[in-house]
Amino acid sequence: METRVLADGGVTLSAPGPADIDVIAEACQDSAIAAWTNVPSPYTRADSVRFVGDIVPAKWADGFPDWAIRTSLHGRLCGMVGFLERGSGAPEIGYWIAPGIRRHGLATAAVQLACDFAFAPDGMGVSRIEWRAFVGNRPSAAVARRVGFQYEGVARHGTVQRGVPRDVWVAGLLPDDPRTPTGTWPI
């Protein structure tokens, strides 16, 4: 898959590049990102170099894009959004926003754009997107709910974080689902 840039007037999604390495390294040292994701912890500049130089290009080549989230005002990376291959035929979406710029709707706008791309025939052409988050990750759940994901339950020991099994909340989004919050979320 060739890299694609997506934009909605408020956020722009583009593949991260060498200029983003230090910004990613700094953001991923945030305790919330370390707590709620599978990024290495502690996160180093070498991890960021590997992510930008090796992991992101390999994921694009395999059809599972990762984008830097940029505000349309200044273009600086303020987070990441992308898809993981889970072997179920439905990619899993993941995202984070750097500290200091959270609670401005950037994750919601980015997830909306990424999901639109995933469903598009000229994008990924998928028929379902999965969302998973460690139980208790209310900020991620709020974003998924706003985008229209339908809560489906808890997968006990649904994933492993740095060698430790963790329970996860699970939700799904289909192409025809309304892109508005639903009342099915328990949180």
Q: What's the confidence (pLDDT) of residue 45?
A: 97
Which CATH fold topology does 6-173 show? Aminopeptidase (3.40.630)
Residue-wise pLDDT tens digits, 23-57: 999 999 999 999 999 999 999 999 999 999 999 99
Half-sphere exposure of 94 (CA within 13 A, CB side): 17
Query: Contact at 8 Å (CB) between 184 and 151?
Result: yes
Confidence label for 182 from pLDDT (cuts 50, 70 and 90): confident
Determine the pLDDT at residue 103. 86
Q: Count the neighbouring beta carbons within 10 Å of the beta carbon of residue 186.
A: 8
The amino acid at 110: A
Q: How many helices (DSSP H) and strands (DSSP E) are in the chain?
A: 6, 8
Residue 187 has pLDDT above 80, yes or no: no
pLDDT in tens, 90-102: 999 999 999 988 8
Report strand pairing: 129-134 vs 92-97: parallel
- Taking the complete model, does pTM exceed 0.75, yes or no? yes
Q: Which of 154, 155, 146 is nearest to 173 (CA)?
A: 146
Distances (CA, A) of 139 to 52, 58, 103, 144: 25, 29, 9, 9
Average pLDDT estimate for 114-122: 97
Q: What are phi and psi of 123, to 5 degrees?
A: -105, -115
The secondary structure of 110-148 as a DSSP string is HHHHHHHHHHSTTTT--S-EEEEEETT-HHHHHHHHHHT
C-alpha closest to that of 100 among 126, 128, 71, 72: 71
Dig out the tokens for 79 from the structure. 């987070």
